[in-house]
Structure 1
Amino acid sequence: MGNAIVLVSGGMDSATLLWLAKREFSKVYAISFDYGQKHKVELQFAKELVKEAEVNKHFIVEVPHLKGIEGSALTDKSIEVPSEEYPEGPPITTVPMRNLNFLAIAASFADVYQIENIGIGIHSVDSPYPDCRAEFASSAEAAINASSVMVAKKKNRIKVWTPFLGMTKTEVLKIGLELGVPYEKTYSCYRGTVPPCGECATCRQREEAFRSLGLEDPIKSRR
Structure 2
Amino acid sequence: MKTLVIYSGGLDSTVLLYDLHQAGLDLGALSVNYGQRHGCELKSAATICNELGISHKIADLSSIQSLLSGSSLTSPDIAVAEGHYTEENMKTTVVPNRNMILLALATGHALSIGAQQVAYAAHSGDHAIYPDCRNEFADAMAQAMALCDWKQVELSRPFVDWTKADIVRRGAALGVPFEQTWSCYKGGEKHCGRCGTCIERREAFDLAGIDDPTIYEAHAPTVEELRANNWRLISI
TM-score under structure 2 length normalisation: 0.86
Matched residue of 2:138: which SS?
helix
- Alignment map for 1:1-223 (pairs within 5 Å): 2-55=1-54, 57-68=55-66, 69-87=68-86, 91-127=91-127, 128-149=129-150, 151=151, 157-220=152-215
Gaps of 5+ in 2: 219-236
Deviations 1:54-82 (A, max 9, x none): 11x21100124531122101000110001
Matched residue of 1:4: which SS?
strand
Percent identity over the alignment is 36
Range with bigger deviation, 85-94 or 68-77: 85-94
TM-superposed CA distance for 1:220, in Å, is 2.3
TM-superposed CA distance for 1:129, in Å, is 0.1
Distance 1:130 1:160 in 2: 17
What is the aligned-residue RMSD (CA, Å)? 1.7
Distance 1:108 1:9 in 2: 18
Distance 2:51 2:70 in 1: 36
User: Would you say the 8 A contact 1:3–1:25 is kept in 2?
Assistant: no
Distance 1:214 1:174 in 2: 8
User: Would you say the 8 A contact 1:45–1:185 is kept in 2?
Assistant: yes
Matched residue of 2:49: which SS?
helix
Distance 2:139 2:210 in 1: 35
Distance 1:86 1:95 in 2: 15
Amino acid at match of 1:54: G
Matched residue of 2:214: which SS?
helix
TM-score under structure 1 length normalisation: 0.91
Gaps of 5+ in 1: 152-156
Distance 2:209 2:171 in 1: 15
Deviations 1:139-187 (A, max 9, x none): 11111111124x1xxxxx3211100011100001111111111111101
User: Would you say the 8 A contact 1:184–1:219 is kept in 2?
Assistant: yes
User: Would you say the 8 A contact 2:110–2:116 is kept in 1?
Assistant: yes
Structure 1 runs of 4+ off > 6 angstroms?
none
User: Would you say the 8 A contact 1:32–1:60 is kept in 2?
Assistant: yes
Amino acid at match of 1:121: A
User: Would you say the 8 A contact 1:81–1:190 is kept in 2?
Assistant: yes
Range with bigger deviation, 112-121 or 23-32: 23-32
Matched residue of 1:58: which SS?
strand
Distance 2:52 2:119 in 1: 15
User: Would you say the 8 A contact 2:172–2:210 is kept in 1?
Assistant: no
Distance 1:125 1:205 in 2: 9
User: Would you say the 8 A contact 1:123–1:164 is kept in 2?
Assistant: yes
User: Would you say the 8 A contact 1:4–1:25 is kept in 2?
Assistant: no
